Chains A and B, each alone.
Chain A
Amino acid sequence: MKNITAKILLVVMVLTTFSSCKKSFLELDPPANLTPEQALKTEADLLVALRGAYAGLRSTAMYGRSLMVIGDMMADNTYQSVLNTNRYTLFNNYSYNLTDGDVSGLWSSAYGIILRTNNIINANVSGATVNQIKGEARTIRALCYFNLVRYFARPFTDNPNGPGVPIVTVYNADLKPGRNTVAEVYNQIHTDLNTAFNLMTTYSNSSQFSKFAARALQARVFLTQNDKTNARTAALDVINNGGFTLITAAGHGAYWANPVIRTDRVETIFEVSADAVANNAFDALSYIYSQAGNYGDMLCADDLYASIEAADVRRALYATGVRGGLPSVFVNKYPNFVGDHSDTKVLRLSEMYLIAAEASLPASEIDARTYVNAITAQRGATAIASTGTSLFNDIMAERRKELAFEGERYMDMQRFKLDINRGTNYPAAARAVPYANFRRVFPIPQTEIDVNPTIKAQQNPGW
């Protein structure tokens, strides 16, 4: 019996040494992740995190596709071919719903990027480039809030004190914020852009924000607020001090065909880069316009195409043909979906001239014509010579032609509180879309309403 007891003890001892493995047996670190503390420790870490924020802008829900398509489709520039893959149908038909994936995609992607930027802006890290990095992060954050407030709220020009979107600048997973006013959101945007302008010193390339890119964004923000004085000042600051040069008529075609980010400060002030490895593949912006792949769903409205003169080099960005049995105008502004993909232009010098032109009115028609004709001159278009209301309309028409398929057309309709009258390319039931139509403003997505009791009572009217 003693023998047995001894044997048992032996076995137990052997086993315990065997199995009561080192503590590390249960300590397994994730192989491809870091904790937030580890990931935001140094200046170099911040730069990596900054790239993550830029990469967020590339998501399909943002500049990767949706912002650019919806911004033209909800207006009158692009429509869905009868032969289509059912993408953005409900925006074409103005029948999108509370649960729409593109709507919630914009909301969640924008706030996802805001989190990435918040963590950079709030990081307690020092170093020579930290200011530049934080400045870029602030500009990205401003861009996100600007898009959120423009899509999810009635325009500033309607009611600055109306409900905007929640402002979140510090990470807290459990926060259930309510909506700030539109004016508060714009103040936040300006705070970020002013700070960014002061922090940034470096111009890297067209795919990263720089001092004057922040200023250029601010020009657009002021214009959206109908603050012409500041819009003009900001735009001229970029034109005069930014060091950017306009693209010429001769270089226009090559400019749009180029998939590579630039360092020459020609035309592009800021663009979201998509390269041969990191791109949205079938969900890329280029893929939904190009007729060379399987999609090519989105076509150019006939009236837009007709408004571009034959000699205008912008006409070369379009081709005519037949799709789904119907004569169609194809968009070649984003031709690259193989290898290095077309980047998404967010801010261009030409827009600054258009902003300067528009913001010069009604004070100085001469200035307005000068600035707008800086563009027409580089496009082979007839110079604008009109005055009064016609001049304003001509500038707006020039804006439409120049910025078509860049997501800004609908934003113009919004800030001017215009009724939209779309051409016969669109479904009959969705051609006249008055400003009062509740679908002119996105709903706070159902997924947000479901979890956030504060915002539940603040849904946009009609939804």
Chain B
Amino acid sequence: MRKCLIAFLCVLLVSFQVSAQNKVIKGRVTDETSNPVPNASVVIKGAKAGAVTDANGNYSISVPGSTTTLVFSSLNFANQEVVIGNKTEINIQLKASISTLQDVVVVGYGTTKKATLTGSVSTVKAAEIENTPFTSVDKALQGKVAGLQSVASSGQPGATQEIVIRGFSSISASNQPLWIVDGIILNTGDISRLQTTANILSTLNPNDIESISVLKDAAATSIYGSRGANGVIIVTTKKGRSGKTRVRLDMEAGKSDIAYENSLYRPLNAQEYLDLSREGLVNLGASPAAIASTLASLGLGNGVDFNWYDAVTRVAGQRLYNISLDGGNDKTSFFISAGNFFQEGTSINSKLKRNSFNVKISNKTTEKLTIGVNMNGGVVSQRAPLAGGAFGNPILSAYFLLPTRTPYNKDGSYNLISSTLGGLHNTIALSDIDRRFLREVSLRGAANAEYKFSDNLKFRSNYGVDYNTAEEDQYNNPIHGDGQATNGRAFSYYTRYFNWTFTNTLDYTKDLTSNGDLSLFVQAGLESQKSAGYFSSLRADQFPPSLTLVYPTSGASPVLSSATISDYTFDSKFINGNLNFQDRFVFSGSFRRDGSSRFSSANRYGNFWSLGATWNLEREKFMEKFTFINQLKLRSSIGVNGNAGIGNYDSPPLYGFGFNYNQNPGSAPTNVGDPNLTWELNKPFDVGIDLSILKSRVNITFDYYVRKSEGLLLNVPLSLTSGFGSARRNIGSMENRGIEFEVNLIPVQTKDLRWEIDFNYAANRNKITSLPDGKDIGNGSYILRVGQARLTYFQRVYAGADPANGDPLWYADPTLTTKTNTYPGAGARVLVGQALPKFFGSFSNTITYKGFSVSAQLYYNFGNLVYDTWSGFYLGSGNGAVYNKVARQLNRWTKPGDITDIPRYVYNGNRNFQSASTFNLAQGDYIRLRDFQVGYDLPKQDLSKLKIGALRVYVRGSNLLTWVKDKRLAFDPEQGVSATTNLNVFIPKTVTFGLNVTL
């Protein structure tokens, strides 16, 4: 073996000497801050092969005497050409590229140069999502990409986040994008079945991500066929760079508080509540005796004035540690990281802890074969309180529990007597006594091999696994709360998804003309995916009195023991390619045939395709005189992709079981089914322009798109007399039209000072274009109507309190002409606005002066309405009389002539005022300081003495300021894409202090 190696080296040496008659040029490649740039490529202009810089940026290249020019290039740097002349040493400083044609963009099943890209793809780099206080990467994407709306509905750490790219494509099927991490198609969304919310993506450490590509149009997404309709988000995790092993440490600690509070929605204190109740009882016509006894029962004179809101909310802590190592040699590179993240929610019983790791190893086994493995994973422990109307929801108790009810007895022990809590739960005690937790383990791993048959033929195989488990435990004590009725109860749920993707692609490139003017790229691929879900659920009741026995094993009465599976498979073949003429014109096309287990054998397969083209005008002769233009790219694409985002077994008509009687099995019809059910189709059209001028200091991207969805997988409502509420059918259509605008400006760029501005804007108009028989479909607070957007509110219009008597008034008819004090019929409902914003985006500024940097990102959202679900209870003018009210209720009508929107307070309610109407709607327009950061990079020269590569300290604020247009907005303007409040954990504002060290 050793001999062989020596012989091999000799051969190499000889061949080297043969070429030694050439000229050898040496030098060092550095970046703008004089740090070495490893792996930069140094090639002779016009040639393909060349040299690569080592870890210190040094290179050596042997060139023929005829060579005149060398081209230096590296990822994230602008290419630079240098005339050799007589030089034998060329040291060069590369400038960071902002947007150049040589930028490599990650796209479906590979990468491409920006010049050849025909699709609409936005990229997000590591620096933009690292060290944020967001528990998952989907949250960190808010405001980063034009046209990508990322909305939270809860401030619970680890909560799910909804992402909508270019508007809704579907009414009843999924609207969530497809997530790909290192080639693996992920199961995303909420893994919790027992707890409130658990985002699978929160097991992925955002600090392990190198880049994110958001694919938005047909040319980019149709290669994902039936999964591409809602856009595709491709995440690439960090990989090692060859050279000296680098160690990076990130440390951060911070505090968070509630991001938005409205003083109109402050819960009342005891005096205010009792005064209001007395007034309400008088208005009800109650006798003095009844008033006295009722007020006494509400706590009059008990001396208690407890602020439940303050008690269940808190200033929360958070911290983050990450360590990563990366390095390698010319054959093997590695990246290893470990992270620890802890965050508390802004209310009690809400927190998340994550330990995560990422390993990526790549080995160039031979000249032709490269193999790689990567695995990343996270272990998450989460506590999430109940939400919504559950008595155990601490936020509910903040608004519902009377200030005259105390959580503690005089001796300091917990008050566990329901009747002294107005029938509600002491959530402060329950947070301590009861258990609600979730442990999530996720592993995403892949092994891949790439074999180069030749320079133009390459085969790649990737087998990836996405493995998620969730263990959910809950204990409700026998004394008080949800467990009282059953003498205690405990649940244990186990959920597992084993999801694999096996992808094989063959890439072929070919110069069709000898001068390289016309080249062809073709990729053919096969992909199979199977996701296997396994769910076991158990519950036992009847617990011993000790509060420490919290698992179902201690319960005497097992009442739930269930386990089942749920699987889906996809089998796909695809071909994808482009024809490139001098990087001036590029035409692309893709075709994919998908089969899915979700549809019956007759309708299982679907064909999806795209066509795209781009024209890089700056390469044209006639553009040469416009030297200030660095890039002017026109691109357009059309295509068809699909959506199969429905249940795994929605297609067949079904009978279900579990409708048991006397503990004997019972069955019932559970699904109407439709054997003809098939893919929902989405047909995107996009035209875009990319402009880069003034040495790439002004960069503009503009896109116009139309997306038409057809054959919607719609839940068609049925007459309830059929025994069913709805059936899933392929019917209806919808379209989205919109524009996206991204601007990047660098107004100042000097040696020490740099100012960069980023602005993005997206406006989307969603419109339902057809429904079954053209008829409206009621949809809770909303309506589905042809010509209107999905999630358009359809409500009775509230007209204020009658100045004469304080009765609530509504408009009696949809023309809004007459007012009535009788809650009007359904015919009075009108379209009043939509839940999705009309436009949204962000505006960022980053100023760097020497080592100092300040950056701020504002996120804005305009044109939607937010519905306050529970308003009728704390602002119902007496409805839910035994629950606390908010300060806005004090603006009630009290005497004739009062002009107010809050009716007279009547104990137990005033004429259905609490019922759904526009009173519960507020404008959702807001601007938020999403991110604010002040940082300082210590000077290199000082650090090098300490053998430290780089050291940065920073203070970061997230959601620090929130401006809302509507001063009546009850809660945070971010309430999910459906813009509906649900007494969730409040969204936090966070301040963190952090330190990054690179050794």
Binding site for B on A (CB under 8 A): 4, 7-8, 11-12, 15-16, 18-21, 25-28, 30-36, 38-40, 45, 48-56, 58, 82-86, 89, 93, 95, 97-99, 104, 107-108, 111-112, 114-116, 118-119, 166, 168, 171-177, 205, 207, 261, 273, 275-278, 281-282, 287, 293-296, 322, 324-326, 337-339, 427-428, 445-452, 455, 463
- B655's partner among A38, A287, A326 (CB-CB below 8 A) is A38
B527, B596, B652 — most chain A CB neighbours (10 Å)? B652
A148–B293 alpha-carbon span in the complex (Å): 41
In the complex the two chains form, what is the Cα distance from A176 to B295 in whole Å?
A: 52
How far apart are the CA atoms of A58 and B663 in the complex, in Å? 13
Q: Which residues of A contact B425 (CB under 8 A)?
A: 294
Contact B660 A35 (CB under 8 A): no
Cα of A428 to Cα of B287 in the assembled complex, Å: 11
- In the complex, B627 has a CB within 8 A of chain A: no
Q: Is the beta-carbon distance between B297 and A83 smaller than 8 angstroms?
A: yes
Say yes or no: B564 contacts A32, CB within 8 Å.
yes
Residues of B within 8 A of A16 (CB): 526
Evaluate contact between B881 and A4: CB separation under 8 angstroms.
no
Verify B290–A326 contact, CB threshold 8 A: yes
List of A residues within 8 angstroms of B482 by Cβ: 282
**Which chain B residue lies CB-closest to A50?**
B666
In the complex, what's the smallest C-beta–C-beta distance from B821 to chain A, in angstroms? Answer: 12
Contact at B453–A19, with CB atoms within 8 Å? Answer: no
Complex-state Cα separation, A273 to B484, whole angstroms:
23
Q: A12: nearest residue on chain B (CB-CB)? A: B506
| Surface stretch bound by A, among B80-88, B303-311, B716-724 | B716-724
B935 to chain A, nearest CB (A): 49
Q: Are A108 and B596 closer than 8 Å at their CB atoms?
A: no
Interface string of B200-225 (1 = CB under 8 A from A): 00000000000000000000000000
For A327, give the chain B residue with the smallest CB separation. Answer: B293
A50 CA to B391 CA in the complex, in Å? 36
Residues in A with CB closer than 8 Å to B720 are: 104, 107-108, 111-112, 445, 447-448, 451
**B722 close to A115 (CB less than 8 A):** yes
Any chain A CB within 8 A of the CB of B265?
Answer: no
**Least CB separation from B652: chain A residue:** A35
The residue that B667 contacts in the complex, of A26, A49, A93, A339, with Cβ under 8 A, is A49
Decide if A325 touches B653 in the complex (CB within 8 Å): no
Contact of A26 among B284, B504, B604 (CB under 8 A): B604
Bitwise interface map of B from 763 to 795 toward A, beta carbon under 8 Å scored 1, else 0: 000000000000111100000000000000000
- Closest Cβ of chain B: how far from A163's Cβ, in Å? 14
B123 within 8 A of A: no
Q: What residue in chain A is nearest B562 (Cβ atoms)?
A: A32
Partner of A277, one of B571, B660, B668, B723: B660
Stretch in contact with the other chain, from B741-749, B907-915, B967-975: B907-915
B 910-930 to A, binary, CB cutoff 8 A, 1 in contact else 0: 011001100000000000000
| Nearest CB in chain B: distance from A400 CB, A | 26
Would A325 and B504 be within 8 Å (CB), given that A35-B654, A35-B655 are in contact?
A: no
| Interface segment out of the listed B23-31, B124-132, B617-625, B669-677 | B669-677
Contact of A25 among B504, B569, B724 (CB under 8 A): B569
Contacts of B663 in A (CB 8 A): 275, 277-278
Given contact pairs A83-B882, A84-B882, A293-B485, A51 touches B659 in the complex (Cβ within 8 A): yes
| B666 engages A48 (CB within 8 Å) | yes
A326 near B722 (CB under 8 angstroms)?
no
Question: Which of A31, A85, A173 has the most chain B CB atoms closer than 10 A to its own CB?
Answer: A173
Those 3 A-B pairs whose CB atoms lie nearest each other, nearest first = A325-B297, A115-B723, A51-B666
Interface size on B, residues (CB 8 A): 99
Which B residues touch A276, using CB under 8 A? Answer: 557, 559
In this complex, the member of A54, A55, A116, A275 whose beta carbon has the largest number of chain B beta carbons within 10 angstroms is A55
In the complex, are the beta carbons of B662 and A261 less than 8 A apart?
yes
Cα–Cα distance between A433 and B649 once the two chains are bound (Å): 49
Whether A26 contacts B526 by the Cβ 8 Å rule is: no
Please encode chain B, from 862 to 881, with 1 for each CB lying within 8 Å of some chain A CB and 0 for all others.
Answer: 00000000000100000111
Subset of 13 A-B contacts with CB under 8 Å: A35-B653, A35-B655, A55-B660, A82-B881, A83-B423, A85-B423, A93-B908, A115-B722, A166-B721, A168-B721, A293-B484, A322-B297, A324-B294
A280 shortest CB reach to chain B, Å: 11
Q: Which residues of B contact A293 (CB under 8 A)?
A: 484-485
Contact B595 A278 (CB under 8 A): no
* A326 adjacent to B297 (CB under 8 Å): yes
B664 in contact with A21 (CB, 8 Å) = no
Collect the chain A residues with CB atoms within 8 Å of residue B851's CB: none
Asked if A112 contacts B717 (CB within 8 A), the reply is no
B559 touches A325 (CB 8 A): no
Given contacts A36-B669, A85-B423, contact A447 B557 (CB under 8 A): no
In whole angstroms, what is the CA distance A282 to B669 when docked? 25
List B contacts of A25 (CB < 8 A): 528, 530, 569, 571, 597
User: When chains A and B are docked, how far (Å) is the Cα of A384 from the Cα of B723?
Assistant: 46
Q: A339 and B668: CB pair below 8 A?
A: no
B915 & A97 in contact (Cβ 8 Å cutoff): yes
Of B453, B542, B723, which contacts A112 at CB under 8 A?
B723
B414 within 8 A of A: no
A336 CA to B238 CA in the complex, in Å?
60
Closest-by-CB residue of B relative to A99 is: B826
A278 and B671 contact, CB distance less than 8 A? no
**CA separation between A427 and B284, bound complex, in Å?**
8
Pair A4/B457 contact, Cβ less than 8 Å: yes
| Chain A residues, CB < 8 A from B528 | 19, 21, 25
- CB interface residues, B 656-697, toward A, < 8 Å: 656-672
Cβ of B882 and Cβ of A324 under 8 Å apart?
yes
